[in-house]
Amino acid sequence: MTETRSRSVELWLLLMMALVAAMIVVGGATRLTNSGLSITEWAPIRGALPPLSTEAWMAEFEKYKQIPEFEAEHPDMDLAGFKFIYFWEWGHRQLGRVIGLAFILPYFWFLKQGRLAKGHRWKFFIIACLIGLQGVIGWWMVYSGLQGGRVSVSQYRLATHLGMAFIILGSLYWLYKRQRAAWDVAKFQYGRGRAHLLAGLIFLQIIGGAFMAGTNSGKTYNEWPLMDGDFIPQGYGIQAPFWRNIFENPAAIQFNHRTLAYIVLIVALWVGMSLRKSKSVRPAMVVLSGLLLWQVGLGIWTLLAAAPLNLSLLHQFSSILVFLAALGVIWRSRYTVK
């Protein structure tokens, strides 16, 4: 069905993509500053405001002192230090509220005005549901760090949370591209399978990054190209059963993250060479290749510097650009605008 383009819907989707990208970066900062467990309750309404008095601040601080992370990570913390980590987590949650409102309110407005393409409105509704689910996943992740004597959130739940954020971002991007094309596209399908393979590997590498952050693996083996003098670190398979090394062993997690980066570069080279004759796909592939080279170089720099906050966040932001560029390659390999 051919639909008239709606510039306001396009701008709305671009705004939502920017907000989700900001959420990913702020979430990374929250994790890397050990701020994620500073708010020990899930209060979707009451929690919209921070403590407004000294007494309220002390009450929140006392709640934080009761969890294992306080003794393990911040035993000497004062109220000023607590406010610093509190505002990182509060800002992260507040941005989540903004994203929810920024999507759901315009959604109903555009629906009422008839500006959403007929036959495709359910896609917008699915994204609204995913945004709501992401809030639940976020608390599920935080809750894991408050139980069982843990001093940080579960890396499994952290990876789920980050993965869902990228799924939402990708869905918004795809809707934006379809909306910009007025939902009037023809299937092209030149190199579609290869583009999907490359994008899938990039998404898997992003999930690997979540396990790097969740286990602080970036602060170990801060050398390249070897790891403590070996290509494969000696402690790679130290845990049993073996599969646990992939998700819980910092040596294995970092080695896998490095190795998958090399694989992504090789596959990107193969895809780029195989699709070089396509005038549609080639420009998008050039952009993706440049971003991949930047991202790998930045990853090495971050590792050698022992993962400081600024480089780690830049690395995470760059992963967003790489991911969107990969989706751009898929788009060019699947559709042409009529």
Are residues 175 and 27 located together in one domain of the fold?
yes
Long-range contacts from 144-148, C-beta under 8 angstroms, 24+ separation: 145/36, 145/37, 145/67, 145/69, 146/37, 146/40, 146/67
Predicted confidence at residue 185, as pLDDT, reads 62
Q: What is the DSSP letter of 117?
A: P
What is the total count of domains within the chain?
Answer: 2
Answer with the one of 183, 204, 239 that is the final residue of a domain. 183
Residue 13 sits in the same domain as residue 155 = yes
Q: Which of 126, 157, 183 is the last residue of a domain?
A: 183
Residue 338 has pLDDT above 80, yes or no: no
Q: Answer yes or no: do 97 and 237 share one domain.
A: no
81-140 pLDDT, tens digit each: 999 999 999 999 999 999 999 999 999 999 999 888 888 899 999 999 999 999 999 999
Residues 158 and 258 in one domain: no
Tell me the per-residue pLDDT of 301-316, one tens digit each, with 9 for 90 and over.
999 999 999 999 999 9
Residue at which a domain ends, from 183, 214, 237: 183
Residues 121 and 65 occupy one common structural domain:
yes
Question: pLDDT at position 3, please?
Answer: 52
**pLDDT digit string (tens) for 17-69?**
999 999 999 999 999 888 989 998 888 887 888 999 999 999 999 999 998 98
Q: In terms of pTM, does the model score above 0.85?
A: yes
The pLDDT-based confidence of 328 (bands split at 50, 70, 90) is: very high
pLDDT tens per residue, range 251-268: 999 999 999 999 999 999
User: Are 223 and 127 contained in the same domain?
Assistant: no
Based on the domain organization, do 80 and 158 belong to the same domain? yes
| Whether residues 145 and 196 fall in one domain | no
Do 73 and 117 lie in a common domain?
Answer: yes
Asked if 233 and 101 sit in the same domain, the reply is: no
Reply yes or no on whether the pLDDT at 1 is more than 50: no
Query: Cβ contacts of residue 192 below 8 Å, gap of 6+?
Result: 330, 333, 334
Q: Do residues 130 and 248 both lie within one domain?
A: no
Domain that holds residue 299: 184-338
pLDDT tens digits, 163-219:
999 999 999 999 999 888 766 665 666 677 899 999 999 999 999 999 999 999 999
Instruction: Please say whether the beta carbons of 125 and 8 come within 8 A.
Output: no
178 and 31 in a single domain? The answer is yes
Q: What is the dihedral of CA 247, 253, 259, 260, to 10 degrees?
A: 40
- Determine the pLDDT at residue 118: 83
Q: Which band of pLDDT confidence, cut at 50, 70 and 90, is reported for residue 276?
A: confident
**What Cα–Cα distance (Å) separates residue 71 from each residue in 65, 66, 138, 168, 241?**
7, 9, 24, 36, 31
What single DSSP character describes residue 278?
-
